[in-house]
Amino acid sequence: MRWLPAIDWLWRLIATAMGFSLFGLGALLLALLCFPLINLLSRDSGVRKRRVKRLINLTFRTFTRIVTLLGVFRVEFAGTDRLRSDRGCLIIANHPSLVDFVLLGSQVPDCDCIVKQALWSNPFLKGVVSAADYLPNSTGPAMIERCRQRLAAGERLIVFPEGTRTEPGQAVTLNRGAANIAVRTGRPIRLVHIHCQPPVFTRNTPWYRIPAQQPRFRIEVGALIDPQPLIDQSPSLAVAARTLTRELQQQLNRPLQREAEQRGQAHGLSVQ
């Protein structure tokens, strides 16, 4: 029976290729057929955007179900009912994997997102990010104002403030952009912790380099943070943003530290 792990790994490799191919073809189908049809049937821009985002949410949920049924990875969600009831808040998460936004977006109807500018040049995804009217990760007052308007309208804005995927085994290091949005709009932050063991689809790792064991994701919705007390106590918004960035970074790193301690204890090691 020594060959069973090899068979399992080979099947997951094939299933991973199938999953990514399905995702790319699905994105093209949405951009070339579904979104134009929605544009044709929806004269009001607000209705059109809501329908586009609901279709994206349905697509993400379908993709997640398919790849988990194929055995590419397992995923567990905890506390996601909070995301569905939240309104007008930033959803801030760590970013260990390529599929983080898909998994998180599958649990947030009508979600908005700040994404990399490069996605507008991606042949598979540019139609999706354009139709959904996602925000590019630019900086400046204009960007803050666009975020303010969307949050004031009750939208939920997903942000990965690391700016790129975390290197496995490394601590989360945040840029200040998400905290700037929070303190300059006064909107609350919902923290989300994304765990994946063993790591998969990480930064600078090709999709086909999959681990020997099936990866397991856990998407855990954490606390709701009100930035207003910090804003009131700080001498300036810039200071408030720096302080909030440190606090968010510490909170996102705590589960990672606990995981490291547990792995160290399992191997008889002391983790500092």
pLDDT 10s digit of each residue in the chain, 272 long?
A: 567 778 899 999 999 999 999 999 999 999 999 999 999 988 888 889 889 999 999 999 999 999 999 999 999 999 999 988 899 999 999 999 999 999 999 998 888 998 888 787 887 788 888 888 899 887 788 889 999 999 999 999 999 998 888 888 888 899 998 999 999 999 999 999 999 999 999 988 999 999 999 999 999 999 899 999 999 999 999 999 999 999 999 999 987 666 655 555 555 544 33
Residue 13 domain-assigned (yes or no): yes
pLDDT of residue 119: 81
pLDDT of residue 268: 53
Determine the Cα–Cα distance for residues 149 and 182; give it in Å rounded to an integer.
13
Residue 243 domain-assigned (yes or no): yes
User: Of all residues in the chain, what percent are helix, strand and coil, respectively (each to 5)?
Assistant: 55, 15, 35
B/e letters for 78-99, b = 16+ CB within 10 Å, e = fewer, are: eebebbeebeebbbbbbbbbeb
Determine the Cα–Cα distance for residues 215 and 212; give it in Å rounded to an integer.
9
Residue 271 domain-assigned (yes or no): no
Q: Which domain holds residue 163?
A: 4-266
State if pTM tops 0.85.
Answer: yes
Residue 254 domain-assigned (yes or no): yes
Residue 78 domain-assigned (yes or no): yes
pLDDT of residue 118: 79
pLDDT of residue 170: 85
At 156, which CATH number? 3.40.1130
Determine the Cα–Cα distance for residues 118 and 104; give it in Å rounded to an integer.
21
Residue 38 domain-assigned (yes or no): yes
pLDDT of residue 95: 93
pLDDT of residue 266: 52
pLDDT of residue 263: 55
Strand ordering across the sheet containing 216-225: 74-78, 216-225, 189-197, 90-93, 157-159, 112-115, 135-136
State how many domains the chain has.
1
Residue 47 domain-assigned (yes or no): yes
Residue 155 domain-assigned (yes or no): yes
